[in-house]
Chains A and B, each alone.
Chain A
Amino acid sequence: AARAPGKKITARLKRTLPVRGPQAPTVSELMRWYCLNTNTHGCRRIVVSRGRLRRLIWIVLTLSAVGLILWQCAELVMNYYSASVSVTVQFQKLPFPAVTICNINPYKYSAMKEYLSELDKETKKALETFYGFSEGKSKVRRSVDDWNSTGSDFFQQIPLLKVEDLSRTATELHSGQKRKIEGRIFHKDSSIVNSADSNDIIGFQLCDANNSSECALYTFSSGVNAIQEWYKLHYMNIMAQIPLETKEKLSYSADDLLLTCFFDGLSCDKRHFTRFHHPLHGNCYTFNSGENGTILSTSTGGSEYGLQVVLYIDEADYNPFLVTSSGAKIIIHDQKEYPFVEDIGTEIETAAVTSIGMHFTQSRKLSKPYSDCTETGADIPVENLYNKSYSLQICLHSCFQKAMVDSCGCAQYAQPLPAGAEYCNYKKNPNWMYCYYRLHEKFVKEQLGCQQICKDACSFKEWTLTTSIAQWPSIVSEDWMLRVLSWDKGQKLNKKLNKTDLANLMVFYKDLNERFISENPANTIVILLSNFGGQLGLWMSCSVVCVIEIVEVFFIDSLSIIMRRQWQRAKKWWHGRQQGGSGTAPQASDVESQGHDNPVCIDEDLPTFTTALCLPLPQDRPLPRTPPPNYSTLRLETAFTEQLPDTLELGRH
């Protein structure tokens, strides 16, 4: 009663929150107890089996079952991130895609005369000197006269060369001088490397302006390619200096391009089209671009209910060197996508009706961790230069443009401008072409790292096209059709349209079935757990409870037993030292306190009938003392009883 309050509290705490050690005195006892009482099936067999062989077999079986469980569960976890594909087909009203239509020729040649006359003159001159081509005598004479006066600005920048053979000498076009080629030779056509015997190879040389010895010669197997490529380089230079507003005026207007328009059985006009200026293709017109907020949709399939457009392709006004084919180019894309006219697109023939049947497929991939794709592109360290939603193409182009600005100091003409940069032209950046070619080569060889940075988009819409062509207008209807279309165009009747200036286009849904291909996670946590449960149950009839048991018995209990043993040994040793060896180890002093009567040994965990029914221990009415059972296991060391106050306390309570 006279104990200190602190001690009182600890005693109370001990009573209410006893830290109980395991009842079994040794680890092997604990194991035995565990095996007999656990819910898993193998362990009990080990203990119960008689005979060493049988026990051994059971041990092996149990262990292999544990091994199997671990292996199978590891498999389950490793295959957790797998996806299953489902294809659903829905018949419904479908959104009509955006249809971007471009004339293959970007700008009206007649309007471009003032910008391109110099370049064209020199191109013609080059054609004449190399191939003896002349359009008309008078023109040639004049250009020859002009030759010296105007000076060959273009040829000084990028000289066109005729490579004699592989002896590395070339004739320069302008001066006619032979010069030695230094630097590397790049063959645009790889086949030329094999056919080294042909000695008329046309190419052009690009030099580093700062270091004239650093040159690269680009050769082509055919002069057609060489001239076109050479023309295009100069053309881009010139175009880069013209402001956007002027360029838009130089190109085709909606009235120029579109003669008739018909959608979903109703008439439409240029108001349904949005202008979109493409640097290489001039003014393109997008039908149903969704710019005014509404996206048209189709509720009936078939050619009558799609888009029908008659295009006016003014073939006479084509640039002869820049484009060599005639017609229009169309791209069918989603409203949020950027139409890459130069990369994809279907070409439309003139004097024909092109019927394009569409089939709509939508796909969706699962992003990380299932696959390496990106939902919005926000996690990609490349700035999206296009004002459209992310796609792999946009990423690659933006990445290249950025590299171009970084290393060449100016932006390439065909792609949008990053902030603070301007387009290359050789007045300001005399070096850009060489730089561009080197960079492009690196890009193609995947040395810029763009292909590694850019990832696929996770979801994409796709329109599968079936394109077929028929003659239009037919021979018998040609007459009235051209007359009426001329009237539509508001032209005078004497200037009748030609059928090669016209192209008819039909874009329609073949059917309104939308295919939706989506990846779904094959596993959820619920399914994973039930698979775990299935495995555990199949091999050992185990559950989470068993796992907790195992943790409890194998880690906490056995550890505490070992610790206790160590503690006792240490204490004993200490005692022995203190008593100086005279005091013998305390023996099992009183026989009475052994066996069942020893309260310490009343193991509550043994499934006796009384414990099962939770009946109070018969303490108040002591039964006549039974002789101690002959369990060797129940024989305790005396030290155990004496030196474990907490266990004692509990047992008495």
Chain B
Amino acid sequence: MNLKKYLVRALHRLQKGPGYTYKELLVWYCDNTNTHGPKRIIKEGPKKKLMWFFLTLLFASLVFWQWGILINTYLSYSVTSSLSIGFKTMKFPAVTVCNANPFKYSEVKPLLKELDRLIEAALERILQPTPGNSSDNTSLSLDLELWNQIPLVLIDEHDKDNPIILDIFETNQTAVGNETATGNETKKHYKLAVKLCSHPGSDNCTYRNFSSAAQAVTEWYILQSTSILSKVPLHERIRMGYQAEDMILACLYGAEPCNYKNFTQIYHPDHGNCYIFNWGMDEEALNSSNPGAEFGLKLILDISQQDYIPYLSSAAGARLMLHQQKSFPFLKDQGIYAMAGTETSIGVLVDELERMGYPYSDCTMNGSDVPVRNLYSQYNTSYSIQACLRSCFQNHMVEICGCGHYMFPLPEGVNYCNNEDNPGWAYCYFSLRSSIKQRQICIDSCKETCNDTQYKMTISMADWPSEASEDWIFHILSYERDMSTNVTLDRTGVIKLNIYFQEYNYRTISESAATTIVWLLSSLGGQFGFWMGGSVLCLIEFGEIIIDSLWITIIHVISWCKGLKQRRARARYPDAPPTVSELVEAHTNPGFQPEAMGAVSQPEALPPEPGTPPPNYDSLRVQPLGPDSDAD
């Protein structure tokens, strides 16, 4: 009962709005609101009223339209970039130096001996196709099993539509000989191709043909040597590569001497042993606070070109790369060459790009949200897009071919591919490598890092050592390395490198959000203020008015319902509705009790004592909740 009373009172209080009809409410609102338009509607004469009404509507719609645009702009999360350029103390980049050739030929010769003999014999056949010259006893001693795993074939494209495929070590040599002898002037039509089969002896074969025999030979050699070397354990491969003390002859960082012990060894599948200077994994990275070659890193390297594997890498030089302290050096992508017998000076400019992550741009901070398992994390390196792409490829390779490719790190429990265990691996590898779908999957699943650092290099070269200084330099370097007075170095092996910061050593492009929430609010406020002079409070006012009008609607609806019921009641009792006095009479006269009594929402109204004057309940009037009751 108490609660009900309270509720009724609350209801009354709530409904006590600024007016009881829509018109009153509107007039009250227009007169008292802080937005500028409505006031004018009220205050002007009838004709101007109309004009102001339309103007207000127009402005209101303009405001909403512009708000829409602003919110859209905000949600597009655009960014602005700012550029800063200058010189400051910077971390010296990590410098990876490798030899272009992965292993010392003198060390791997026992492993590759068969292969070299095969390719030499094959070249002999191809280049000098006169049958008398090729001796049978050499071909007998060749390891033809190795050859047949991935053979090289000659394709005769003399007849374009019907190419003839010739095996180089075919038993019926006379046929080959005749063929070439007759087509001597059309020798150009011969092409060398690598035959790849999904299984040994199966017909499911493809021919990878090359426009040049040189490429075919290199490709074939890489495939075969990969298969052989993948069976060699890692420590053995490291032993076969170039050792730091043989390769790094002199080192100077700024004014401080350094030696090969300052370099971290890392095994790189492409280039064998690589050595990284300033690899800041455990210790602090070196800083450089001065521009110029005097304050940079100076290295003298020996690549011992005589000890190169002849068929594996035809380019001679050192491969080097500047990179961030925690990233893996991807020399094939970002590396540069340094030529033997020259001094290469590299001026460095650090080009940094700092981006904001989601939702401003689609990049990843540390690679944790990328769905590819990063295989390079076993080198204790951070995420990079190259690492992601290679890991993605290797994962596909393991999935489809059942073994891992030699050039990429292995997932756990998987072995590298080789010809014995996985005879069809080369076929599988090439079909995977050339599949555009696979590449697209990897591109789609990998994301670039948000903070991208590039080292822009200005490379210049000069001959080194000069003719006049050649003698004593080689003498000293040989003495230091081999403790002998004989000169063991020559022009074809030594490389001098200078790596230093340029006068302007950094260029940073950093992003900032073009639209912040503050920007959005002030723009929204500006728009609203510009057209209508409104603020948030005006919106609240408007909301209030809507609540009020809702109330009025409710009241109207209720009264309408009441009216309907009464009308129905009236329809049932076609005479006039009972007046108050009638009702009073009815109450006093128990024999005259109208049934419509229940329709009046006064169940608790007890019948008054007989003879008393009718109570002054408002509710007894026709509209118990009507606006008139309070207007009184």
Which residues of A are at the interface with B, using a C-beta cutoff of 8 A? 17-18, 20, 37, 39, 84-89, 91-93, 259-262, 265-269, 299-304, 310, 352-353, 355, 357, 359, 464, 466-477, 479-481, 483-485, 487-488, 490, 493, 504, 510-513, 515, 520, 524, 526-527, 529-534, 536-537, 541-546, 548-549, 604-605, 607, 611-614
Known: A267-B215, A520-B78, A613-B24. A477 touches B533 (CB 8 A): no
| Given A20-B47, A267-B215, A534-B522: A511 touches B31 (CB 8 Å cut-off) | no
Residue B100 lies at the interface, judged by CB distance under 8 Å to chain A: yes
- Among B43, B212, B306, B330, point to the contact of A260 (Cβ < 8 A): B212
CA distance A499 to B170 in the complex (A): 33
Q: A262-B211, A475-B306, A524-B69 are in contact. List 11 more A-B contacts (CB 8 A).
A: A89-B452, A267-B209, A472-B315, A487-B126, A488-B213, A533-B525, A542-B533, A543-B532, A544-B532, A607-B31, A614-B23
Q: Is the CB of A530 within 8 A of B308?
A: no
Contact pick for A510, options B45, B317, B333, B452, CB 8 Å: B333
**Chain A CB within 8 A of B168 CB:** no
Binds A, one of B282-290, B431-439, B605-613: B431-439
Q: A541: which B residues are within 8 A, CB to CB?
A: 529, 533
B332 CB–A CB distance under 8 Å: yes
For the complex of A and B, 5 pairs with smallest distance between CB atoms: A533-B530, A530-B526, A470-B317, A260-B212, A474-B316
**In the complex, which residues of chain A have a beta carbon less than 8 angstroms from the beta carbon of B529?**
533-534, 536-537, 541, 543
CB–CB A537/B334 < 8 A: no
Task: Judge whether B37 is part of the interface by a CB distance below 8 angstroms.
Answer: yes
Q: Is the beta-carbon distance between B530 and A474 smaller than 8 angstroms?
A: no
Considering only residues 29-66 of chain B, those with a C-beta below 8 Å from chain A are: 31, 36-37, 39-40, 42-45, 47-48, 55, 59, 66
Check B332–A267 contact: CB distance below 8 A. no
When C-beta atoms are compared, the residue in chain A nearest to B511 turns out to be A87
Provide the residues of chain A in CB contact with B309, threshold 8 Å.
Answer: 476
Nearest neighbor of A266 in chain B, beta-carbon distance: B434
Q: How large is the interface on B (under 10, 10 to 19, 20 to 34, 35 or more residues)?
A: 35 or more
Inside 8 A of B448's CB, which chain A residues have their CB?
89, 91, 513
Q: Are A476 and B70 in contact (CB under 8 A)?
A: no
Chain B residues 56-94 with CB under 8 Å of chain A are: 59, 66, 69-70, 73, 78-81, 83
Given A93-B440, A301-B333, A483-B123, A470 and B316 touching (CB < 8 A)?
A: yes
Given A269-B211, A543-B529, the answer on whether A476 and B434 have CB atoms closer than 8 Å is no
Q: In the complex, what residues of A have CB within 8 A of residue B78's CB?
A: 86, 520
Q: How far is the CB of B53 from chain A (nearest CB, A)?
A: 13
**Contacts A39-B36, A468-B336, A605-B44; A87 near B353 (Cβ below 8 A):** yes
B355 touches A89 (CB 8 A): yes
Contact of A39 among B39, B48, B105, B389 (CB under 8 A): B39
**Interface presence of B386 (CB below 8 A):** yes
Least CB distance, B338 to chain A, in whole angstroms: 7
Shortest CB–CB separation between residue A47 and chain B, in angstroms? 16
Shortest C-beta distance, B247 to chain A (Å), equals 16
Given A542-B533, A546-B36; A529-B452 close (CB under 8 Å): no
Chain B residues near A261 (CB-CB < 8 A): 211-212
Q: Would A607 and B43 count as touching, CB distance under 8 A?
A: yes
Q: Is B314 a contact partner of A265 (Cβ separation < 8 A)?
A: no
Selected A-B contacts with CB under 8 Å, 20 pairs: A86-B80, A87-B81, A87-B511, A89-B355, A262-B215, A265-B433, A267-B209, A267-B211, A299-B443, A466-B456, A473-B315, A480-B123, A484-B217, A512-B385, A527-B523, A533-B525, A534-B530, A543-B529, A543-B531, A604-B44
Residues of B within 8 A of A607 (CB): 31, 43
Report yes or no: A88 in contact with B338, Cβ–Cβ below 8 A.
no
* A551 CB, nearest partner CB in chain B, Å: 12
**A150 to B79 CA separation, bound complex (whole angstroms):** 74
Q: Tell yes or no: B111 within 8 A of A by CB.
A: no
Please, which residue of chain B has its CB at the minimum distance from the CB of A605?
B43
Closest B residue to A87 using CB positions? B81
Is B446 at the interface (CB under 8 A from chain A)?
yes
B340 at the interface (CB under 8 A from A): yes
Point out the residues of chain A lying under 8 angstroms from B59, CB to CB.
544-545
Q: Is the CB of A612 within 8 A of B42?
A: yes
Contact status B527-A530, CB under 8 Å: yes
CB of B308 within 8 A of CB of A467, answer no
- Bound: A541/B538 CA distance, A: 13
List the B side residues contacting A510 at CB < 8 Å: 333-334
Task: Tell me the bound Cα distance from A484 to B353 in angstroms.
Answer: 46
- A511 to chain B: closest residue by CB: B333
Chain A hits for B73, CB < 8 A: 524, 526
Contacts of B308 in A (CB 8 A): 474-477
Inter-subunit contact B66/A530 (CB<8 Å)? yes
Q: Which residues of A contact B188 (CB under 8 A)?
A: 490
**B385 contacts which chain A residues (CB < 8 A)?**
91, 511-513
For chain B, residues 484 to 523, give those with C-beta under 8 angstroms from any C-beta of chain A. Answer: 492, 509, 511, 514, 522-523
- CB neighbours of B42 from chain A (8 A): 611-612, 614
**Closest residue on chain B to residue A482 by CB atoms:** B214
Residues of A within 8 A of B80 (CB): 84-86
Q: CA–CA, A297 to B447, complex, Å?
A: 19
Q: Which residues of B contact A470 (CB under 8 A)?
A: 100, 315-317, 337-340
Interface residue B459 (Cβ < 8 Å from any Cβ of A):
yes
Quick one: which of B348-398 are within 8 Å of A by CB? Answer: 353, 355, 361, 363, 385-386, 389
Task: Give the shortest distance, in Å, between B396 (CB) and chain A (any CB).
Answer: 13
Shortest beta-carbon distance, B55 to chain A, in Å?
7
Which B residue sits closest to A259, measured CB to CB?
B212
Chain B nearest Cβ from A24, distance in angstroms? 13
A476 to B340, alpha carbons, bound, how many Å? 14
Within B430-475, which residues are at the interface with A (CB < 8 Å)?
A: 433-434, 436, 439-440, 443, 446-448, 452, 454, 456-457, 459, 461
Complex Cα spacing A357 to B456, Å: 11
Query: Which residues of A lie under 8 Å from residue B277 when comparing CB positions?
Result: none
Do A477 and B310 touch (CB < 8 A)?
yes
Contact of B443 among A89, A93, A515 (CB under 8 A): A93
